[in-house]
Amino acid sequence: MLAVTILGNNSALPAFDRHPTAQVVTLDEFLFLVDCGEGTQMQMAKYKIRRSKIQHIFISHLHGDHYFGLIGLITSMGLLGREQDLHLFAPAALHDIIQLQLKVADTHLPYPLHFHALEEKSLLVENDRFRVTCFPTSHRIPCWGFRFEQVKAPRRLLPEKAREHGIPAIFYDRLKWGENYQSKDGTLIQNDWVTEAAPRGKSYAYSADTCYDERLVPHINGVDLLYHEATYLKDLADRAANRFHCTTHQAATIALMGNVGRLLIGHFSSKYEKLDLFEQEAKEVFGNSQLAIEGVSYRV
Amino acid sequence: MLAVTILGNNSALPAFDRHPTAQVVTLDEFLFLVDCGEGTQMQMAKYKIRRSKIQHIFISHLHGDHYFGLIGLITSMGLLGREQDLHLFAPAALHDIIQLQLKVADTHLPYPLHFHALEEKSLLVENDRFRVTCFPTSHRIPCWGFRFEQVKAPRRLLPEKAREHGIPAIFYDRLKWGENYQSKDGTLIQNDWVTEAAPRGKSYAYSADTCYDERLVPHINGVDLLYHEATYLKDLADRAANRFHCTTHQAATIALMGNVGRLLIGHFSSKYEKLDLFEQEAKEVFGNSQLAIEGVSYRV
């Protein structure tokens, strides 16, 4: 299962009860927090996101609307007695800010906070369940997007077929990982006679703040769901470019070029109270487009 | 006119839709922000507080529930094109935190932000309309309370009486400030024949986070309205002391000893969902006690 829940869909200035950027990605039993604007911990309470289940936080860049809520969240996790590890992936300078804020408060977190600088490598986490990578976007300051992929699950064993071919149970695990079996009499049992392919792993890309930049396309290529910012409607392409942001049409063009399954747009400018034109314009270019609405979970 | 509007009345962990500490003090046409927990700018929008009218911000101490919303607020003020001066009174270390956060975002505020360290002096602002002073409280880290006083207004001129006594209009201003008038024939016109006393200036004290400490009494003595923290009910006096906080009875005792007009209690622990016992217990010691409720303005 892969889904993304929107906690904040607005750009820098909170407005019309829309909040700065934050999202929770749910991948099976794992929760990832992506960006953490001011008020994220309150939004998590409102939408019943369990803070304790989050082990990985990803911060795209150091504009405040993407991280001012982080120090409050990690402090609250401490006040709630958290003991499990927390991994924070963010631009290196955030480490200094957090350490300074903990120091002046004389606060010692009761859990290990592991800081990983995004500048160091693009493969952030990889295990047998998921893989998270980052990629640079084009913004006024260094900024990264993130790609979340379910790792291709092992093949599904067909136990009756395996028994038919006389394969011992001890070999079943290796069958799941695609091996063929050579029986004692020399017969080769092809793996796909006794297993079937697992469903394909799902993928989600969060492209953070960016101006229109086709160099993003290979990084988001083929994902099932893409979140791309669309700060402005299409008539404000100049303003978007000046501020290193995108319009609806630009976001949808990237989705189209990247051959993604579905597009979510967000990071709406606080100059817009109503959002319906955003969806309409994005759909003009890429039909499977939707607005990122706070409190809504989009399942891949 | 002197009033205080509560934007957040909870202690460190946001809970039950209560927010961390922030208050707006209104003194005639001036607005002062006192502490600025996470989400304060959203609370200001909710309760229609005009950010642009704030020229002075006072931060009591550097526990996050009293300042994590500040950087978002001052950044938003910049995004809204503020040009007028902003004076920030806070513990010295906050200056470094703010400068670091502005630097990593490559943000240049379009207005002058004047930082004043609370460590330097206790008279923070004084002019012909108001005076703000600070005083130390007893908390786990250095912490200050604030006292706001309307400056005694000039006496009110009684123009008919002044004319009766033949006082020239050019002398009226000096009459307002209490001078007598010596007429050309040597007659002394007593000031109080031609003026009457202005109403007494009102006063408000915010005692910030503190354990029970009678050394606060002279600092809050005689104010019309005192805000004193009451994190716990009276049965948790030990826990309160351990955490450098107060109970209802302790807050009310300080109010009683300080001979204040009215007591507001707040900074409620997130362990309590209902608050009615707080008011009841405070009233057992000091009758004129009230809960600080978010969104409510308490007029002095």
Burial degree of B246 (CB within 10 A; 0-12, 13-18, 19+): buried
Q: What is the pLDDT of residue B128?
A: 86
Please compute the mean of the pLDDT values over residues A94-114 and round it to a whole number: 97
Please compute the mean of the pLDDT values over residues A271-288 and round it to a whole number: 97
Q: How far apart are CA A287 and CA B111, in angstroms?
A: 44
The half-sphere exposure of A206 on its side-chain side, counting CA atoms within 13 A, is: 32
Q: What is the pLDDT of residue A147?
A: 98
Q: What is the pLDDT of residue A200?
A: 82
Coil, helix or strand for B250?
A: helix
A140-154, B64-78, B106-120: which range is least confident on average? A140-154
Return the residue of A nearest to B76 by Cα. Answer: A13
Q: How far does B175 lie from chain A, in Å, by closest CA?
A: 50
Please compute the mean of the pLDDT values over residues A121-136 and round it to a whole number: 95
Return the residue of A nearest to B68 by Cα. Answer: A72
Q: How far apart are CA B229 and CA B250, in angstroms?
A: 9
Q: Domains, chain A, ranges and CATH?
A: 2-153+203-213+222-299 (3.60.15.10), 156-196 (no CATH)
Q: What is the pLDDT of residue A146?
A: 98
Q: Which amino acid is at A242?
A: N
Of B39, B79, B100, the CB nearest to A38: B39
Q: What is the dihedral of CA A168, A174, A175, A179, to 10 degrees?
A: -120
Q: What is the pLDDT of residue A12?
A: 86
What is the tens place of the pLDDT at every residue in B128-187?
A: 889 999 999 999 999 999 999 998 767 889 999 999 999 999 999 899 888 999 988 888
Evaluate if residue B270 carries a pLDDT over 90: yes
The residues facing A56 across adjacent strands are A32, A87
Label residue A110 left, alpha or beta by phi (over 0 means left) and psi (-120 to 50 means alpha). Answer: alpha
Q: How far apart are CA B34 and CA A126, in angstroms?
A: 46
Q: How far apart are CA B280 and CA B285, in angstroms?
A: 9
**Which residues from chain A sit within 8 angstroms of residue B63, using beta carbons?**
105
**Is the distance from CB of B40 to CB of B69 less than 8 angstroms?**
yes
Q: How far does B97 lie from chain A, in Å, by closest CA?
A: 7
Q: What is the pLDDT of residue A184?
A: 83
Check whether A267 is labelled as a binding-site residue: yes
Burial degree of A3 (CB within 10 A; 0-12, 13-18, 19+): middle
Q: How far does A55 lie from chain B, in Å, by closest CA?
A: 20
What is the tens place of the pLDDT at every residue in B37-61?
A: 999 999 999 999 999 999 999 999 9
B65 is catalytic: yes
Evaluate if residue B10 carries a pLDDT over 90: yes
Q: Give ipTM to 2 decimals.
A: 0.86
Confidence band of B15 (pLDDT split at 50, 70, 90): confident
Confidence band of B19 (pLDDT split at 50, 70, 90): very high
Please compute the mean of the pLDDT values over residues A130-150 and round it to a whole number: 97
| Chain B from 50 to 89: CB within 8 A of any A CB | 62-64, 68-69, 71-72, 75-76, 79-80
Please compute the mean of the pLDDT values over residues A280-293 and round it to a whole number: 98
Please compute the mean of the pLDDT values over residues A262-289 and round it to a whole number: 97
